[in-house]
Chain A
């Protein structure tokens, strides 16, 4: 399940096909005269970036962070707060969103990574809730009610993010970049240390790896990528609020990663798309969409251990077998 599948594996072909379809989506939306599709899928792309970052530490590093949505909030608030002070330059907002996320990840990771297993899950959750209540406490930036953003990040005449299609393509390019970055990272020496430490951390230390510092580095990189997704989310919603980093959001991110296939290159893409698409379709049928979504999730976990990605590969195997 952790093997980087060959480029022509069915799951990678499926991912490539999905990316091509995603690239054509704004055209479909125009043909169908339903611009809402672009908005819906922009949200999916942003969540897919966040899930990709979580996959680096959860899927490859075995670190079950139950507070990952915190960085969506941090990245979002950096953009929101700067915008409320009249700083709209994306060249400033986005790098700062990434840098502040890195700082939070460094401090929180340095403490959390001294624990293992359930304790790690609980302590990341605790820190995320702390940051959540910090957001609630930001009275001058709307507190619980959140903060409206009146101008999207500005990139001069280069990109006009207020154009929904331009913004959509920016998100798509960043998603492909994030997927490729993680794909390369996990195959490097650094990535091998992460994967080895997930598999058998004691042995890693016995053969001479000080694993803590590598795990912390992975934790920070994941925080940075997720912080960028937060900056995108703020632009997308033109609004930030503490709800962005509620622990339920962190849980959703974990579900996306598990659903798509933990520790696979393209899993987060499948996971985020499937999760949000099913959520959207079911919520049109019933307000209580979770009642149907829950059992669906259990079925995937039971019958496709490696997530949706492995489902494609299994089908291929059966055809050959």
Chain B
């Protein structure tokens, strides 16, 4: 494998007596779509939190593009090209779709002590914003208020906002959570179109989506990575079947 874009080495995070991340090591190659699956409480969100910098690991190392980012604050990671979408949708409901994305572009376009020129006629903000909206198929809704979007459209807006900052790597925390089958299918198409153009780490409950999209899959159980491999390998892995795929029925209720 080529030099990994993201390398996780021996990552450990404890919350009291619970080991949420237990010696996780993982390499993700440039351009790879890597999925992380696992039952509830497997520590998927904790792992993502450590990658974005919101949770500080107890030990271990995270390297991004060759440099150690284990102790870097969130906004610096974001500026280096590590973008995330949130599990709980947190867009700007009072603003339009286009304004939401333009704001994400603006965050990476130097300081904002510019008091006079209208943002709406500022092409350095509007063009990347429109491009990101096109990528997720939301350009027709550019002038709608974000509050009027459906749940699925809001998740797509989330991804457009992450894309607008032109990241090298995208961290997606359950982008299909709470979606109906139709919306899920549209999201799969969006992700398929992005695949290969940038590196994606996808945490997702929707097994069909994961197996359809991922180059490689890591299975997390009680904080430990019990298996990593391509979809066929994971499907065939006995330990994975026992630990996870066998009781998928109990997972269905989770969002």
Contact = CB atoms under 8 A, between A and B. Distances in A.
B91 A190 contact: no
Contacts of B145: 3
Interface string A122-147: 00000000000000000000000000
Interface string A284-303: 00000000000000000000
B193 interface: no
Contacts of A162: none
Contacts of B161: 207
A3 B92 CA distance: 13
A202 B32 CA distance: 30
Interface in B75-130: 75, 78-79, 86, 90-96, 99, 102-104, 106-108, 112-120, 122, 125
Contacts of A190: 112-115
Nearest to B96: A3
Given A199-B93, A203-B92, A214-B112, A192 B99 contact: yes
19 contacts: A1-B94, A3-B96, A188-B119, A189-B122, A190-B114, A191-B115, A192-B103, A196-B103, A198-B94, A199-B94, A199-B95, A204-B103, A206-B78, A207-B78, A207-B104, A207-B161, A208-B78, A214-B112, A217-B113
Interface of B: 74-75, 78-79, 86, 90-96, 99, 102-104, 106-108, 112-120, 122, 125, 145, 161, 165
A185 B114 CA distance: 9
A203 B107 contact: no
A198 B79 CA distance: 23
B242 to A, nearest CB: 38
Contacts of B125: 189
B107 A188 contact: no
A192 B112 contact: yes
Interface string A149-184: 000000000000000000000000000000000001
B103 A200 contact: no
A208 B112 contact: no
A281 to B, nearest CB: 35
Contacts of B86: 203, 206
Nearest to B143: A3
Given A1-B94, A192-B102, A209 B119 contact: no
Contacts, number: 87
Query: Interface range on chain A: under 10, 10 to 19, 20 to 34, or 35 or more?
Result: 20 to 34
A203 B94 contact: no
Contacts of A115: none
A196 B113 CA distance: 14
B112 A207 contact: no
The winner among A185, A193, A207 for most chain B CB atoms within 10 A is A207
Question: Which 5 interchain pairs have the tightest Cβ spacing?
Answer: A208-B107, A199-B92, A189-B114, A189-B112, A199-B94
Interface of A: 1-3, 184-185, 187-193, 195-196, 198-200, 202-209, 214, 217
Contacts of A208: 75, 78-79, 107-108, 165
Contacts of B91: 200, 203
A196 B118 contact: no
Given A206-B74, A207-B103, A207-B161, A196 B95 contact: yes
A213 to B, nearest CB: 8
Contacts of B92: 195-196, 199-200, 203
A203 B101 CA distance: 13
A184 B117 CA distance: 8
Given A189-B106, A199-B92, A200-B91, A209 B78 contact: no
Given A190-B114, A203-B90, 8 more contacts: A188-B119, A189-B122, A190-B112, A191-B115, A199-B92, A205-B75, A207-B165, A208-B108
B102 A209 contact: no
A200 B86 CA distance: 13
A262 to B, nearest CB: 11
B78 A2 contact: no
Nearest to B114: A189
Nearest to B93: A199
Given A196-B103, A207-B78, A188 B90 contact: no
Contacts of A207: 78, 103-104, 107, 161, 165
